[in-house]
Structure 1
Amino acid sequence: MILFVSDLHLQPARPVLTEAFLRFLDEYALGAKQLYLLGDIFEYWLGDDAMSEPFNQQILSALRRVSDAGVQLFWIAGNRDFLVGEQFAAAAGMTLLPETWVIDAYGQRIVLLHGDAQCTKDVKYMAFRAQARNPAWQQQLLSLPLEQRKQIAAGMREQSKAGHAEKSYEIMDVTPEAIADVFKETGTSIMIHGHTHRPALHEVDGTRRYVLPDWEPESSPPRGGWISIGEDGAIVRHALDGTML
C-alpha cells in the first residue's frame, strides 16, 4: 500500500502521541510500499542542527528503520516544520518534495500538498507564510543559536494560539478558489492534504479532496489516522486504530 499522514505535531511533551506514531510505523508503515509525510509531523523544527537532541533522534531512528526496510519515504513541508532540510532527509532516508507534488498511484493521478497555502482568506497567516518561506529569512533565523530559535518558536506558537481564538473556521480553512486552481494547474481530479484538522472527503464537480486528520490520541475519543491506497486503486481513510472509515 501507499500511506499518507500529516499533522501529528510530535513533541517531547506528548509521549502518548509519540507512542501512537511509533506504533503506526511498526504496524503499518513497515509493510507499505511508500509513506508520504505531508507536513507538521513535528510541532516545530528549528533546523537540522537539532537532530542530535534525544527526542529528534528517536523519531529520526524510527523513520530510518522504515526506510531501511525498503519503504520509500517522502516529505512535504508543513507550516511548523518547513525548516527540515537535506541533512535530516539523508539521515532518515527520505526524499524532500516541493510544496505541490503529483503522483501516479496505481493508475490514478493524485496531487499532494500540506494545505496551508490554500487558506487564502487568512490574510495574516499568508503574510507570515510569505516571509517564512523566504530563503533569506530562513538563513537569518538559522544563523541564530538553537536556544534562541527555541525562544522565538515558543513566542510564535503563543501568538498563533491567540490568533486562532480570534479566527473563524472558515477563515482558517482552504478556499474553494485556491483548491480549484490547484486542480486546474496540475490537471488532476484527486487531492490529499492536511493542515486544517478537519478530516473529510469533499466531492465537488467531479473532483475528490481527501483531508487528513490531526493526531490527538490523548483525547476521548482518540483522534487521528491516515489514508491508504491499495493496489486496486481504492483510497481508504483509516482511524487511529486502523479501522477503515
Structure 2
Amino acid sequence: MNIPQGKNIYFASDNHLGAPTKEASRPREQKFVAWLDEIKQDAAAIFLIGDLFDFWFEYKTVVPKGFTRILGKLAEISDSGIPIYFFVGNHDLWMDGYFEEELNIPVYHEPQEFIFNDTTFFIGHGDGLGPGDKGYKRMKKVFTNPFSKWLFRWLHPDLGVKLAQYLSVKNKLISGDEDAAFLGEDKEWLVQYSKRKLEDKHRDYFVFGHRHLPMEIDLGNNAKYINLGDWINYYTYGIFDGKEMHLKTY
C-alpha cells in the first residue's frame, strides 16, 4: 500500500470491551468510538490488533449481545472505503466470518506482513509467540481445535457466553501484575521473538498487542519493536505517517 500524502495508518489493541462488566466498559467503548471518529478524517487504513472484546464467540446464527456503538462505527468507516484489518487476540479468537460478512473487515488468525511505502511491518496480536509460556500454547490448541469449538456451540448462548465472560475476567489477563512493569529485553518474549525473526529476514517494524504495556524498543539494524499498550489504563495507539511509526496517547 502506498500512503497518500497527509494520510496515516493507525494501530490499536486490547480494548477488552465488556470487561469487567458491560456497564463498566461502556465509557471506554465510547472513548474508542470517539477516537475512531477523529482518525477517520486522515486514515489510510486502521489495524485492530486483537482483544477488541473481552470475549467473542460466533455461534452459527448468534453473536454476543451488545457492542452496538463500536460495531456501527466500524461499519461506517469500512463502508466509507477506509480499509480496516482485524487480528484476533486470545480473548476474541473465535471469529468465524461475521466481521467479513457484515463489516467487510478481513480477519487474521496469524501474524501477517505488510508493506507501506517500502516499509515492512510484521503485525500480530502476540499471544503464544516466542519462547516459554508452554501452558498457554497447549491451552490455545485446545481452544482452537474444531472439535472443542463444536462442543462449546452445544451450550445455549445464555450459558456459554456468561460462563466464558466469567472465566475471562477471573483469569486476570486484563490487568494482571505480569503486565504492570517492563521486564527487560531479555525477559520480554515478544522482543526475543522479533529478534529471532530478524535473523531470517529484515522487517522495519514488529507491531504487537497482548502485553498491555506501551513499548518502543530499538532492535538494531533499523528495526523497531512496538507494543501498542491498551485502552484500559493507557489509551495508547500507533500511528505511521508514511515514514516513521510512533506511539501516542488519546
Q: Could you say if the C-alpha distance between residues 164 and 4 of structure 1 is closer, same or farther in structure 2, counting changes exceeding 3 Å?
A: closer
Distance in 1 separating the partners of 2:101 and 2:81: 15
> Is the aligned partner of 1:18 residue 2:29?
yes
Distance in 1 separating the partners of 2:144 and 2:75: 27
TM-score of the two chains, using structure 2 as the length reference: 0.82
Question: Deviation per CA, 1:95-132, whole angstroms, max 9, x where unpaired?
Answer: 11241100001110110010112264333222212211
Distance in 1 separating the partners of 2:248 and 2:174: 31
> Is the aligned partner of 1:77 residue 2:88?
yes
Q: Could you say if the C-alpha distance between residues 57 and 227 of structure 1 is closer, same or farther in structure 2, counting changes exceeding 3 Å?
A: same
Matched-pair contact (CA < 8 Å) for 1:114–1:194: yes
111-120 or 36-45, larger mean C-alpha shift: 111-120
Shift of 1:212: 0.2
C-alpha RMSD over aligned residues: 2.7
Structure 1 gaps of 5+ residues are 241-245
Structure 2 gaps of 5+ residues are 1-7
Matched-pair contact (CA < 8 Å) for 1:121–1:175: no
Distance in 2 separating the partners of 1:209 and 1:82: 23
Q: Could you say if the C-alpha distance between residues 52 and 151 of structure 1 is closer, same or farther in structure 2, counting changes exceeding 3 Å?
A: closer
Q: How does 1:87-102 map to 2 (within 5 A)?
A: 87-102=98-113
Q: Could you say if the C-alpha distance between residues 167 and 56 of structure 1 is closer, same or farther in structure 2, counting changes exceeding 3 Å?
A: closer
Distance in 2 separating the partners of 1:52 and 1:162: 20
Matched-pair contact (CA < 8 Å) for 1:102–1:186: no
Q: How does 1:199-238 map to 2 (within 5 A)?
A: 199-206=214-221, 207-216=223-232, 223-231=234-242, 233-238=243-248
Q: Which amino acid aligns with 1:63?
A: L
Distance in 2 separating the partners of 1:112 and 1:162: 21
Q: Which amino acid aligns with 1:237?
A: L
Identity across the alignment (%) = 19
Matched-pair contact (CA < 8 Å) for 1:113–1:193: yes
Q: Could you say if the C-alpha distance between residues 174 and 138 of structure 1 is closer, same or farther in structure 2, counting changes exceeding 3 Å?
A: farther
Q: Could you say if the C-alpha distance between residues 90 and 6 of structure 1 is closer, same or farther in structure 2, counting changes exceeding 3 Å?
A: same
Q: Which amino acid aligns with 2:161?
A: K
TM-score of the two chains, using structure 1 as the length reference: 0.84
Q: Could you say if the C-alpha distance between residues 80 and 185 of structure 1 is closer, same or farther in structure 2, counting changes exceeding 3 Å?
A: farther
Question: Deviation per CA, 1:59-97, whole angstroms, max 9, x where unpaired?
Answer: 221110011111101111000011122123221221112
Number of equivalenced pairs = 233
> Which structure features the higher share of helix residues?
1
Q: How does 1:41-190 map to 2 (within 5 A)?
A: 41-47=52-58, 49-51=61-63, 53=65, 55-118=66-129, 120-161=131-172, 170=183, 173-184=188-199, 187-190=202-205
Question: Deviation per CA, 1:182-204, whole angstroms, max 9, x where unpaired?
Answer: 34456424201110011111112
Matched residue, 2:5: none
